[in-house]
Amino acid sequence: MRGLTSLGQVLAAATFIGGRTLERVSLTLAVHPSPAKYWSSDLGLSCNAAGDQAQVLAPNFTDTPPATIDVRPWLAWYTTATGWHWLGTTGVNESRWYQWTATPAGIAEWQTPTGGIMPWTWSPISVAPGHETYLVAVFEAIYWYEHPVYVWGYARSIEAGDASNAFCVYR
């Protein structure tokens, strides 16, 4: 990583092998700032919206100058009995892309006439008790600058006023 940081960007190659098929692809690798800088709020996964229910409030993505972003939300859950599963806005293992406008003050489409924010929400998410279920909210985002910047990151999980968790636990 240090070498790449000093170079700024570098041309690389990747080889994919599937059965007898071999595919070589040229890539440009570059160091970008941490994706967390695009998320300007503590919104994310609310663990105790109502008993055994959670709620996803999309982080308030920001950018200067304003830019179009494409965002795809996911909810991942884990139990020791079943392993990991992914839920998107259109079903299991399927999520749709949402196109929003990131501004210095946050998503333009969420701003009210009085200057408040009404973020995109996904709820209620019901969790069956007694299975020790772990939930994680994940957002994929593509920021369009001179070159597209793709980021993928966990949203903060909020439980009892503590925004430091990366996940919610239901026992």
pLDDT in tens, 109-164: 999 999 888 888 988 888 888 888 988 888 888 776 555 666 666 565 555 555 55
Asked if residues 50 and 62 have their Cβ atoms less than 8 Å apart, the reply is no
Residue 125: HSE in the Cβ half-sphere, 13 Å Cα cutoff? 25
Q: What is the DSSP string of 61-107?
A: BB-SS-EEEEEEEEEEEEETTTEEEEEETTEETB---EEEEEETTEE
Task: Please write the tens of the pLDDT for every residue from 59-85.
Answer: 888 888 888 888 889 898 999 999 999
Q: In what order do the strands lie in the sheet with 44-46?
A: 121-126, 53-57, 44-46, 156-159, 162-165
Which amino acid would we find at residue 37? K
Count of residues for the chain?
Answer: 171
Residue 44 CA to residue 166 CA, distance in Å, equals 10
Domains and CATH numbers, the chain: 1-31 (no CATH), 35-170 (2.60.40)
Q: pLDDT above 90 covers what percent of the chain?
A: 18
